[in-house]
Structure formats: C-alpha cells, structure tokens
Structure 1
C-alpha cells in the first residue's frame, strides 16, 4: 500500500462562538474545537473524514460529531466502497434517532466528506458541500460533488429532518496515486480561499492544513474552518 501522511487542522474561526466541524482519521485522536495534528496513517487501510454541522440549525456540533463517530468503525471494517452507502445511511439514521429522542436537537444535520484507501485503490465520498480536492502533477481537481442549489441551499445532508430520505452520496473510486495530495475541507475554507491559493499551498507547504486554515482566517474567518491533507508517497 502507498504510504499516507496526514496533516489536520480545525479552528472555530473569527465569528462563530463554537466549532460545529468535526474530523477523524484512522490514527485515533481528538483535536477538539481548535488544534493541529500530523502523523503517519499506518496499516493496510487509511481513512479520514470531515463533517460540517449545519450552520443556523440546532446542535450542528452534535450532528457532525455523531456522524464521524458512527462512520469510524464502518471505515475501519469496510472491505470495499460498496459498503459506504450503508455506513452513510447508518450515520443518517443515528442523527435522526437522536433528534427523535431529544427535542432540543430537532433540525440538526451535517455534511460529510471522506476517503477510504485500501490496498491500491482510494474511494472518496461526500454528502453536502464539504469538498474533496486532489492535487497531482501540478493540477488541482475536485473529486466531490456539491449537493447545493441556488449557490447555498443543501439538497443532501445527514439528518436535518426526522423524516427518512433516500441519500444519494457521491462516491468515486480511483487507483491510489503514488505522489499526490488530497484535501478534505469544510466550506469555511473553500468559501474564502480560492483554488489557486489552495493549489499553491498544497504544492509547497510542509504544514499544509495549518497554512490553509491560516489563509481562511486572513480572509475573514466568518465560519468554522477544517482542513485534512493526505499525502500519498510511493511505498
């Protein structure tokens, strides 16, 4: 398997009172509402996720945290990308069940994006507008699909309603690259930092997640900001 190195950073931003983003990687750790982390993702599989609790809705931070907590064991055991829809449906059910049990959580929801790398393949997935961007051979391209209309209204999310729905996640499977970087981020980053600046940071930085968060703060930091960067290296 290609070696995977990870940088992660999250920040509450300069306007919001609490961080409704959540992240997780296959090397267990918890950054809390602010912080940075880096390290090797060892083993035969590597995974990472970013979830963005729906701003303006009740308990977005509960929804995002619950999503990554439910998804983590699935990603640890998944045998292929075929298992991802079931994992996402389980996270959606858990959020809706929590709303049914606790009225104060009514309306909470979250986006999610992530990657599962097994053997020589990577599968990326997303629901909502948290982005997955792939930098390789000097080019930046988006692998995720933005589930939005009119620029900002989500058409897909986990939770958000106590009623069941048919989820339509974007799932893309590609050969695992030998020399590239992958960025998972919440829209608090991508709404403020243009693609050319993201590409520049990914191409040269030795602390890319932290530098991307700093760029979003410099640009105004009006939302929570989370970045997870994975670097794939030949084994």
Structure 2
C-alpha cells in the first residue's frame, strides 16, 4: 500500500519555435499532457499517483505524436506506484510489442516510434526507467547528476552533456520490423526534500548544457519558475525541437 510522501510537480510541453506540431507526451500520475501548454502546470501528488513519464515521438518518423501518446497511455495502465524494477521492464517490453502490433494492423503507421523516461516515486525508493535519449536528472544541493544513460552511439556526448549527433541506438518502435527493446531500469534511494528530479526530452538537453540546467535548478526554489526558466533557455537558443520538462520535489512532512 502506498502512503506518504507527497510531491510537488511542475510540467510543461510545447512544440518549440521550429516544429509544426508537438510529438511529445507527458504523464503526471494518471493525467496525460500533450499539445502546446501556454504555461507550466503544477501538481501536488500523493504517493498513490506518483508516476512521472515523458515520451518523445521520433522526429522524421511517421506518426511521432501518436507513438508517444500510445506509449504513455499503455504505461499509465501498466505501471503504478507499487511497480518494481521488474514490473517496469516487463511493462515497457509489452508496450513495445503492442506498438509493433499496432503498426502491423495499420501499415500507414509503419516506422513510428518514441523514446521514454519515467520515475516511480515510492515510499522509500525511486524506480526509474528509460529507452532512448530522453533524460532523468537528480539535482542535489551541490551537483546535477544524470541518472539515465543515453542510448546514443559511443562518443556522441560533448563535455557539456549535449549530443553531437541525433542518432539513437534504441527506441520503442521506430523501425519497419520488430526489434526487441532493452529498457534501462534502476532503483535508487528516494530523493530528499532538498533534492529535485528533472525528466525531459532532448528538446531541452540538445540546447541547454548540464551546467546551465544545474544553475537554474540550484538557484530557483519555485518549481514552476524553474520550469519556465529552463524552457526559456531552450527557446532563446533556437527552440529547434519539441520541449518537455517535468520538475519534481518531495514535500516536507
């Protein structure tokens, strides 16, 4: 049974300044966010609803927005606050299979795919999972730590944490024939109220360095304002891709 703690969450998603539509999808608990938000939304979640996810439909592939929403809708049903690392891995592999089944049933959707990053905020542990290049960070009082591992060709991350190419080595879907997915799933201690989680699509991290992200999170106590500032940095640096940001902090008892 899930009990305390509770979480304060700010979420934002937008097409950016160049793309014609937003192919990202966010889940905050059971609530799904897509399209363009005019401003960050704030949530106060009990641990019964503390599952956070960001999916980024593959740009240049067919039906990216549909793929990311399908992935999120499937996983909202399959992953809850009691999910173990094994449960999360099983749910992701099942969702990948279902995505390919959908493509087989509807050939016009062939090749659609999505990345994924998520966090299950349990009573004493953080279970995180990801596939592709969407990221999960932990901001401590002194450091920004990337908890996720980019599925990109080796050597394609620069010293500032930004990619030098847009290729990824795996995604959910994303090919004409079935390819099994190997999700990264880890279990870590639950963040303290002095620490902050950031889940985001590469529309943020391709344009904003880890150091700039660290400075915003370290200097901005208000989560909605931190979300706005991160999005503004990506927009100022071109906003070339869809931008999705979820910032979460454990509330003090």
TM-score with structure 2 length normalisation?
A: 0.88
Once the two structures are superposed, what CA deviation does each residue of 1:104-155 show, in whole Å capped at 9, x if it has no partner? 2111100000000111101111000001111012210100010011543211
**In the alignment, which of 68, 72, 77 is matched to residue 68 of structure 1?**
72
**In the alignment, which of 192, 212, 231 is matched to residue 213 of structure 1?**
231
**2:159 is matched with which residue?**
none
1:5-84 correspondence to structure 2 within 5 Å = 5-26=8-29, 28-35=31-38, 36-44=40-48, 46-76=50-80, 78-84=82-88
Residues of 2 paired with 1:81 and 1:187: CA distance? 24
**In the alignment, which of 115, 138, 144 is matched to residue 148 of structure 2?**
144
SS of residue in 1 equivalent to 2:47: coil
Tell me which stretches of 4 or more aligned residues in structure 1 moved more than 3 Å: none
1:178-193 correspondence to structure 2 within 5 Å = 178-179=192-193, 180-193=195-208
Q: Which has the higher mean CA deviation after the structures are superposed, 50-59 or 35-44?
A: 35-44
Residues of 1 paired with 2:202 and 2:61: CA distance? 16
Structure ranking higher in strand proportion: 1
**2:248 is matched with which residue?**
230
In the alignment, structure 2 segments of 5+ residues that lack a partner are: 157-164
**2:162 is matched with which residue?**
none
1:119-138 correspondence to structure 2 within 5 Å = 119-138=123-142
Give the RMSD, CA atoms, in angstroms.
Answer: 1.6
Tell me if structure 2 keeps the 8 A contact 1:193–1:216: yes
TM-score with structure 1 length normalisation?
A: 0.94
Tell me if structure 2 keeps the 8 A contact 1:66–1:94: no
Residue 31 of structure 1 deviates from its aligned partner by 4.7
Tell me if structure 1 keeps the 8 A contact 2:14–2:35: no
SS of residue in 1 equivalent to 2:177: coil
Tell me if structure 1 keeps the 8 A contact 2:53–2:118: yes
Paired residue total: 235
In the alignment, structure 1 segments of 5+ residues that lack a partner are: none
SS of residue in 1 equivalent to 2:100: helix
SS of residue in 2 equivalent to 1:87: helix
